[in-house]
Structure 1
Amino acid sequence: MKLFKQVAVTVLGLGISLIGLSGCSVSVEGNDYKAVQPAFDIEQFFDGDVKAWGIVQNRSGEVVQRFVVDIAGKVEGDTLTLDEKFEYGVGEGPTERVWTIVKQSDNTFVGSATDIEGPAKGTSYGNAFNFHYEMDLPVDDTTYAVTFDDWFWAFDENTMMNRSYIRKFGIVMAEVTIFMQKQ
């Protein structure tokens, strides 16, 4: 009987833990946006100058970064180059990043940047676009290997919102919210 109680308590504890962890995950389903208009065309939107305003929130919801980004975009053939310059009002982070994003024959995209591990894989879904990639993210005196689930949604041809879910071990550790507008 004592062994049964120990097993029951262990199973109950695992169940509660799994329920708690499921509350820490966010799942966006791209297919839900395939028919939503206006369609988001990443090449059209970023061809030229774009201004962005964003925040990063930790798991507690505290704003740990607030920033402005000036993005100079250029399309040449199947390649989109984004030259990003960051200024921080709260917190610290990279001051620049250059993305190279190449359209594939199946209309998906593969992106790279110097601080991104491996390729970023991008897919369009109507008015939404999803980028998924890994990054070694510096925080204070430590670097964490994290996964970005990066979603973009078009409001109109000149305005867009970006929401990124930063995960470690499958758990959302931070969220990034950015509004972007063509200049």
Structure 2
Amino acid sequence: MKRAAIAAGLAVLTGVALWGCASPKVTDYQKETPKLDLAAYFTGRTEAWGMVQKRGGEVTKRFHVVVQGRMENGNLIMDEDFTYSDGEKQQRTWTIQPLGNDRWRGTAGDVVGEANGQTSGNALHWRYVLQVPVNGKVYDLHMDDWMYLVDEHTLINRTTMSKFGVDVGEVTIFFRKP
């Protein structure tokens, strides 16, 4: 019994170690172009289209979002207006502060604490806890965002949502800047 528990524990630790090694780092993209300048890309009007999927891939929501960004006191302010396929509307305002060395910190009304991220090359890796309402309850979900600038007009965002370390869904967004 004791050997089985030790073997199971070692298997879990090995899996976690291998998973950690397989995860990309934002610096893996440092040579990719075009270089993502977060403030420059999101200053002005940007539109986006996206979807939310359950862990198994089923699309649960589709949406359109209009982002109005501006620089204010050295911070990037992003006003996001979402319209979902079911008619629901949502608004979020981000205040994103550049910290230097390609690092960023952000806050929003439905973000627990602060979001933290780093840019490198054409990519941004952004992590935060978002309060997500579902059927009258609010869940704190860990959001792991990866954004990639494809060209000067197009940015793709892929987010993994998790709770207690278990992936519960994904968000995919395509941003387009005129």
TM-score, L = length of structure 1: 0.84
1:72 aligned onto 2:47 = no
Matches within 5 A, 1:7-156: 7=2, 27-90=23-86, 95-156=90-151
Partner Cα separation in structure 1 for residue 16 and residue 90 of structure 2:
34
Unaligned regions of 5+ residues in structure 2, if any? none
Evaluate the alpha carbon distance shift between residue 28 and residue 172 of structure 1 in structure 2; reply closer, same or farther with a 3 A threshold: farther
Partner of 1:163: 158
Shift of 1:7: 4.6
Partner Cα separation in structure 2 for residue 65 and residue 21 of structure 1:
31
Amino acid in the other structure paired with 1:119: E
Contact 1:65–1:91 (CA<8 Å) still a contact in 2? no
Contact 2:102–2:120 (CA<8 Å) still a contact in 1? no
SS of residue matched to 2:24? coil
Evaluate the alpha carbon distance shift between residue 91 and residue 65 of structure 1 in structure 2; reply closer, same or farther with a 3 A threshold: farther
User: For residues 125-162 of structure 1, what are the alpha-carbon distances to aligned partners after superposition, in whole Å with 9 as ceiling and x for unaligned?
Assistant: 11001111112221112222221111110001111100
Cα RMSD, aligned residues only: 2.7
Evaluate the alpha carbon distance shift between residue 149 and residue 143 of structure 1 in structure 2; reply closer, same or farther with a 3 A threshold: same
Evaluate the alpha carbon distance shift between residue 13 and residue 107 of structure 1 in structure 2; reply closer, same or farther with a 3 A threshold: closer
Larger Rg: 1
Shift of 1:105: 3.5
User: For residues 7-46 of structure 1, what are the alpha-carbon distances to aligned partners after superposition, in whole Å with 9 as ceiling and x for unaligned?
Assistant: 5665676678789999x99933212111111111111111
In the TM superposition, structure 1's runs of 4+ consecutive aligned residues that sit over 3 Å from their partners are 6-22, 24-28
SS of residue matched to 2:85? strand
Partner Cα separation in structure 2 for residue 63 and residue 53 of structure 1:
14
Contact 1:64–1:90 (CA<8 Å) still a contact in 2? no
Unaligned regions of 5+ residues in structure 1, if any? 1-5
Partner of 1:172: 167
TM-score, L = length of structure 2: 0.86
SS of residue matched to 2:131? strand
Partner Cα separation in structure 2 for residue 96 and residue 65 of structure 1:
16
